[in-house]
Chains A and B, each alone.
Chain A
Amino acid sequence: MKKHRTLLAVVAGLALVMAACAEEQQAGGGGGQAEAPGPGELVTIEGGEDMSGVFIPKATDNPVFDQANDGAVEAAEELGAEPASFEGPPSAEDIEGQIQIMTNAVTQGVDAVMISNNAAEQIEPAAQQAQDAGITVVSWDSPIPSGADAGESLFVAQVDFDETGEVMADMALDLLGEEGGEFAILSATPDAANQNAWIEDMEAALEDPKYENLELVDTVYGNDDPEDSYDQALALVDQYPDLQLIMAPTTVGIAAAAEAMQDEDLCGQVLVSGLGLPSDMVEFTLNGCAPEFALWSFTDLGYLTYYATYGIATGQVQAVEGAQFEAGRLGEYTIEPDPTRDNGLRIVMGPFTVYTEENVEEG
């Protein structure tokens, strides 16, 4: 009997090996790559063809990504295509989740994958595999670091990252006034590519003499976790008695910091600003805890992403530098090299909206 047991294990193992070694490569699907117009010509993306796709957010626990998906669905309806399947890992820390979804997408033979990369290079093998299978891979919100080298066709950037630093510096100046004062940054995670780029950019912007009275005393990380961010915000206040402002370039961090200040009755003393979601921030903006913050529209970002992806997947747009296209209600865009990466292409969606008590309720 023991003998049988071992035998069984061996046979099971062998069967798997043989199954794996035999059989040919599964053919990749993908949209027909028709003759696309070259760079310079403006293409108006038009519907008609169907495109199956997967729309992958960093995580499903953040409402901004739902807004992005709403935009993507809107675009799909305009184009008469089936809306992309919205699948994401439960938390932004779940790298394997995105890899699994990307890998499954290959198996499912979809035409396109739109991803907001929640890690760094970890996604690249899977992305490459997807492209090899003929799938159009477009990143949005957060790019795939190696860009075209890892199968990415295009990155749809929400804003020009260079602009972010300046917007944040301006808000700080606005809130603290000419006399300036101490402020600290509460970021997401230390390896969050977007946030790091923005912080770096802000530090560069601060070199400008007009911000000379603004003193950045510390940068801490709340891991995009409400509780951690809350504790970090309070720790900042304790550590720097003269602190006047917490700048949080993350929607989770800014809300948690504002909540912490409100809970501890510190709103008059320490202000909160950064990038926030209006629906999260209404209360704090109106009660003065976070009088001013900024964000772009995630709905538009999703909308644009879908349009661009559809254009590439259906062959209407070629993912090359200089290609121009018109994306529905958002107008014209030109594909350009991404200055933040070695071999990546991008389009930049557009400006920030700065929210104050005047417009926050509309947001």
Chain B
Amino acid sequence: MSRIGPGSSERVGGSRRRRLGLQPERMRELSLLAIIVVAVLAFSLVFENALSGRFFNRVTTSVAITAVLAAGQTVVIITRNIDLSVGSIVGVTAYLTGEYLGDHPDAGLFLAIGVAVLIGGALGLVNGALVAYGRVPAIIVTLGTLAIYRTWLIEHANSQNITADTLPQWLDELPRASVLSFGEFDIRLTFAVAVLVVVVLQIALGRLRWGRWLYAVGSNPDAARQAGLPAQPLTLVAFVVSGALAGLAGFMFLERFGTITVFAGSGLELASVAAAVVGGVSVLGGSGTVFGAMLGAVLIALLDQSLLRTPQVSEFWRDAILGALILAGVAADFLVGKRLRRRWAESRRSLSLGATSERGAVTDA
């Protein structure tokens, strides 16, 4: 009868179930990969050079910024929060870093990145403090700071743009720098950096104690408190990471576009949330991977770039498709979740034959 007693060695979350249990994330990533491949093939029928190295380079360069942002966004969403301010943080850091480089042409690459990351991290800290210690919901805080940071930038810039000619020469050459080349296919430095960020974060979230705690806090905040996890500092850290990565993205933005207006980066907050959600990061917190978010970002960039090159479909379809993708992502997330809950209920029944179904039964109804 009992399946967890000493006499019975039957496994409650048996190995079959384990594969099913852990699988959703992997499944999600695999299916995203499949969708990406199918999309590339489909677009290759529509316009010529979808399989060319050149197109590959276009997609990878344009995905770099969103992928970095989506990685940061993932960290925040895992803790059951959201960061809508990243678009403005990108703008502020791109602008200020550009200004800094204009004033200090001798500053090197790493110093410039350091400045950008520091500024971004500081802005993230403000968000994090308000959410973790002020206990204002993240959506409110970051909707507010989205406006506030942008306003500050506009005031600060006094309608002066950062232009390419004020920037040091090495910055101009950065977008063309490749780490590796296979014929026409380049791995551009920016893309390599984005991949590096994703890999590092993926490992950190998977293997660092604090990484697992971030999942724990998002998965069950009450339990996290009872387990004595530092929930508030963790939330703060998540926002700082997101801000710092937005700062890095701001630097990438600067080196890519050269010209920075006070509206640089606006709208990227939605793209990053979209990438994360499409990539299987659960908006309920506690689950999802940075790698999935990266795939989400790739899919979105692929759509963007392909639609620009598909004369039959106007590029204006982009946002509509993006909205549909998010909805599909969330719905898939929930259907999986629902199945899990149902399985849970079943396992409870099989354990105790009708015992404790009182709660389970209602949630199914």
Chains A, B in direct contact (C-beta < 8 Å): yes
**A231-B62 contact given A60-B154, A61-B263, A256-B257, CB 8 Å threshold:** yes
**A262-B47 contact given A90-B154, A235-B309, A282-B165, CB 8 Å threshold:** no
State how many angstroms separate the Cβ of A312 from the closest Cβ of chain B.
27
- Smallest Cβ-Cβ distance to A262: which chain B residue: B172
State how many angstroms separate the Cβ of A77 from the closest Cβ of chain B.
20
**A279-B308 contact given A63-B160, A259-B257, CB 8 Å threshold:** no
- Smallest Cβ-Cβ distance to B164: which chain A residue: A283
Q: Given the complex of chains A and B, what is the CA–CA distance between A60 and B261 in angstroms?
A: 10
Q: Given the complex of chains A and B, what is the CA–CA distance between A259 and B260 in angstroms?
A: 12
Which among A61, A65, A66, A259 is the interface contact of B262 at CB below 8 angstroms? A61
Decide yes or no whether B163 CB sits under 8 A from chain A: yes
Decide yes or no whether A315 CB sits under 8 A from chain B: no
State how many angstroms separate the Cβ of A233 from the closest Cβ of chain B.
10
The 8 A CB mask of B62-77 against A (1 = contact, 0 = none) is: 1000000000000000
Decide yes or no whether A180 CB sits under 8 A from chain B: no
- Smallest Cβ-Cβ distance to B257: which chain A residue: A226
Q: Are B261 and A226 in contact (CB under 8 A)?
A: yes
How big is chain A's contact interface, by range? 20 to 34
Q: Given the complex of chains A and B, what is the CA–CA distance between A226 and B95 in angstroms?
A: 14
State how many angstroms separate the Cβ of A160 from the closest Cβ of chain B.
28
State how many angstroms separate the Cβ of A225 from the closest Cβ of chain B.
8
How big is chain B's contact interface, by range? 20 to 34
Decide yes or no whether B342 CB sits under 8 A from chain A: no
List residues of B whose CB falls within 8 A of some A CB: 47, 49, 54-55, 57-58, 62, 154, 159-161, 163-165, 172, 175-176, 256-264, 304-305, 308-309, 311
State how many angstroms separate the Cβ of A278 from the closest Cβ of chain B.
10
Given A226-B260, A263-B176, A263-B256, list of 12 further CB < 8 A pairs?
A: A60-B154, A61-B159, A62-B261, A65-B159, A226-B259, A234-B58, A238-B49, A238-B54, A238-B309, A259-B258, A280-B164, A284-B164
List residues of A whose CB falls within 8 A of some B CB: 60-63, 65-66, 90-91, 225-227, 230-232, 234-235, 238-239, 252, 255-256, 259, 262-265, 279-280, 282-284
State how many angstroms separate the Cβ of B31 from the closest Cβ of chain A.
27
State how many angstroms separate the Cβ of B327 from the closest Cβ of chain A.
25
**A226-B264 contact given A90-B154, A231-B308, CB 8 Å threshold:** yes
State how many angstroms separate the Cβ of A23 from the closest Cβ of chain B.
35
Q: Given the complex of chains A and B, what is the CA–CA distance between A178 and B246 in angstroms?
A: 49
Specify which chain A residues have a CB less than 8 angstroms from the CB of B257 in the assembled complex: 226-227, 230, 256, 259
Q: Are A60 and B259 in contact (CB under 8 A)?
A: no
Specify which chain B residues have a CB less than 8 angstroms from the CB of A61 in the assembled complex: 154, 159, 161, 261-263
- Smallest Cβ-Cβ distance to B188: which chain A residue: A263
Q: Given the complex of chains A and B, what is the CA–CA distance between A283 and B163 in angstroms?
A: 10
Q: Are B47 and A239 in contact (CB under 8 A)?
A: yes
